[in-house]
Amino acid sequence: MQNEGISVENKRIIPESELVLNPDGSLYHIKLKGDHIADNVIVVGDQERVERISRHFDNIEFQVQNREFTTHTGTFNGKRITVISSGIGTDNIDIVLNELDAAVNIDLQNRQVKDKLKSLNIIRIGTSGALQQDIPVDSFVVSEFGMGLDTTMYYYDYPASEEEKLLAENFIQQTGWPAKTPPPYFVSGNNELIEKIGIGMRKGITATAPGFYGSQGRELRLAPFMPDLNEKLTGFNFNGHHITNFEMETSALYGLSSMLGHRCCTVCAIIANRLAKQFSKNYKKTVDELITTVLERIATL
C-alpha cells in the first residue's frame, strides 16, 4: 500500500558506505530486494519459526537465508505474506527494519528515496514471559506499547507523543529508576493493527530488555544490578496501563516502524510467568496456535 503522508527526502544519492548492497543488488544483511517483500510482513526471532509459519502457506514463491536472517514469501488464503527472522535483540531489529524499508522505499539502483513510499504491515510473533500474576502461561498478549530498556531509539530523533513522555516520566518516578542505567523510553504500536490482530488478547506494555539474564532480573552466577527489577515493572500503573510481559525486540520495532511510516504490532505467546515461576509444558503448541491465529487475521486485512 502507498503512504502519501511520509515526507520524501531531497533527491540525494545515498553513498555506498551507507546503503550497503550485495553484488546481486540486494540489501547487505537480509539479502532482499523490493519485489521479494509483501505488504504484510511477519517478523520472528527464531529462524526455525519461519518454516513453522510458511508451511501453512498455499505456496512459497521466494526464500533466502543469510546469517540469522531467513525469509520466505508466499500466500495464505490468497494474501501475500513475507516472514523474516530477525535473530534476537533490538540491534538486529535496527538492521531488519532499516533494510526492509530500504528495499521497498529506496531505488536501489539509483540510490535515491522513491517519490511514492510504501507502508508495510509488520507483525511480530514472539515468545515472552508474563510480569503479572493473572496472565496465564500459554495465553497471548498484544503490545499497546513497547518500553525500551535498551538504547536503540536514543540514536534516532524519535518524536515521542505526550502520552509516551508521560509514561516514561511516571515510570521513572514510580520506580525510582537508578541514574546508572539508561532511562526507559515508551513507544506505541499501531492502534488499528493492534485492534485487528489482537482481538481477544490481553493488552499491555511490553518491556524490551537488551539481554536475557541480568537485564531481565535473572541470576545464574552473576547477581543483577537491580534484583528487584521485576517487582518495579510489575507494580507500575499509569492511567490503567500496566507492564504485562518481557521480551527483547518490541521497543525498537515500534519506534523504527513509526518513524519510517509502517504499521506495526507485536503479539506474544506467554511461555513463562516470571512471578509464578512457571514455564509452559508445551510452548511450541502454544506458538503454533498463535501462528494460525495471526495468519487468519492477516488474511482479512
Residue 255 grid cell: 519506534
Under the banding of pLDDT at 50, 70 and 90, the label for residue 10 is low
- Residues 278, 68 contacting (CB under 8 angstroms): no
What does the pLDDT look like over 175-192, one tens digit per residue?
A: 999 999 999 999 999 999
Mean pLDDT of 24-33: 98
Supply the mean pLDDT for the chain.
95
For residue 219, pLDDT over 80 is answered with yes
Long-range Cβ contacts of 216-224 (<8 Å, 24+ apart): 216/129, 216/246, 217/274
- CA–CA dist 213, 24 (Å, integer): 39
pLDDT at position 1: 53
pLDDT at position 4: 43
- The percentage of residues in the chain with a pLDDT greater than 90, rounded to a whole number, is 94
Residue 91 corresponds to which amino acid? D
Q: Where are the domains of the chain?
A: 2-298
Class of domain 2-298: alpha beta
Mean pLDDT of 10-34: 95
Under the banding of pLDDT at 50, 70 and 90, the label for residue 50 is very high
Name the E strands within 77-222. Answer: 79-85, 106-107, 112-113, 117-118, 121-130, 140-148, 185-188, 202-208
Can you give the pTM of this predicted structure? 0.95
What does the pLDDT look like over 248-287, one tens digit per residue?
A: 999 999 999 999 999 999 999 999 999 888 999 999 999 9
pLDDT at position 276: 87
pLDDT at position 5: 40
Mean pLDDT of 18-43: 98
Q: How many residues does the chain have?
A: 301
